[in-house]
Amino acid sequence: MAGPRGEYRKSAERRAQILEAASTVFARTGYSASSVNEIARVVGISQTGVLHHFAGGKPALLQAVLEQRDARAEDRLSGRHGREFLAGLVAISRAQADQRGLVQLYRLLAAEATDPAHPAHEYFSTRFRRIADAVTQAYREVADAGGLRPGLDPRTAALRTLAMTEGLELLWLQGFEVDMAGDIADFLDAHLTDPLARG
């Protein structure tokens, strides 16, 4: 029989399966048209089974899916500094191209959440500031190593980089022929004395 540790592991695995299913269903169907029932069906368990792990229902599943997406993006950046960090932004953009439904969902929620009364306002606002600060820090490190083009301010460069990333994502969702990762790499290069290596 599984002891307490075995139970814990089994529960964590089930939780991960549910999140994976929720991510697939949200990305395919959109948030409003999705149901906990459909997510349960993908996992092959009952709706009650899903609610056992996510008592908050669909909003809680969404929150967890978004946090997981963030955590994966942050993994790509963790321990990286300066130019390596900036190159990580390009890698994240490249990975986005396979997650259209999720990117769309994210974008919709981010737009809704610009309203300070929206429940996810604080989450998005904090997340945005954290990213902006991390990118600023990376540009500062590049500047300290003499790799930033003269006359550029790290904070301004960071906010413009963030704006470019967000804007390209939006155009891509609209169906425009943009190469998000390539365009961002070009944009970063315009700030650097030496171009980034292309992956």
Q: What is the CA radius of gyration of the chain?
A: 19
Kindly state the number of chain residues that form the binding site for a copy of itself, as judged by CB under 8 A.
34
How far apart are the C-alpha atoms of 183 and 2, rounded to whole Å? 51
Do residues 90 and 196 make contact, with C-beta atoms less than 8 angstroms apart?
yes
Among 19, 62, 187, 188, binds a copy of itself (CB under 8 A): 187
Binding mask 127-156 for a copy of itself (x = CB under 8 A): -x---x-----------------------x
Exposure on the CB side of residue 186, measured as CA atoms within 13 A: 8
Give phi and psi for 148, each to the nearest 5. Answer: -95, 140
How far apart are the C-alpha atoms of 142 and 192, rounded to whole Å? 8
Closest CB 168 distance from a copy of itself, rounded Å: 5
- In Å, how far are 72, 75, 138, 195 from 78, measured between CA atoms? 10, 5, 12, 22
Q: By CB under 8 A, is residue 159 in contact with a copy of itself? A: yes
Binding mask 69-108 for a copy of itself (x = CB under 8 A): -----------------------------------x--xx
Closest CB 167 distance from a copy of itself, rounded Å: 3
Residues that bind a copy of itself (CB under 8 A): 30, 104, 107-108, 110-112, 114-115, 124-125, 128, 132, 156, 159-160, 162-168, 170-171, 173-178, 183, 187, 190
